[in-house]
Structure 1
Amino acid sequence: MQYPAPSPAEIEAATRVLFDEARFYRWFPITTESYEIFAESDRVGAAELRGIAERMLMAASSAKLQARLR
């Protein structure tokens, strides 16, 4: 079964939350001031965060759909 992909706005919002949590838990250097600066300085890292956020949203969508079917 194919699940609907999250919208770009949903992915962006989730990525920003993930970035903020990553900074809080110091997965990134504390000097990383904002997502915009991070995204410009580390395009691969930003793409990876977006990918993680997208997969998390798709998993949540799948879980929600499965819960409805039960």
Structure 2
Amino acid sequence: MNKKNRLALRVSLFVLVGFPLIFLFVSFLTGNWNFLIYSLPSAFAAGFPGFMVAVQQMKQERNNA
């Protein structure tokens, strides 16, 4: 697996999982759940395309090798 693909996969997973967890923590601290609600669609919109591209590239490298 290429280092760039591995990095892209890690970053996209952090955006998909890490950002909502951060905003969940902020929502617990403030009591304002709008932080979490508004972070979910944006995290999905930012992380999911990168995740799909990274997975496709890894599959393509595996098939070519």
Tell whether the structures are fold-level matches, with TM greater than 0.5.
no
- Normalized per residue, which structure has more helix? 2
TM-score, structure 1 length as denominator?
0.39
Name which one, 1 or 2, has greater alpha-carbon Rg.
Answer: 2
In the superposition, the TM-score normalised over structure 2's length comes to 0.41
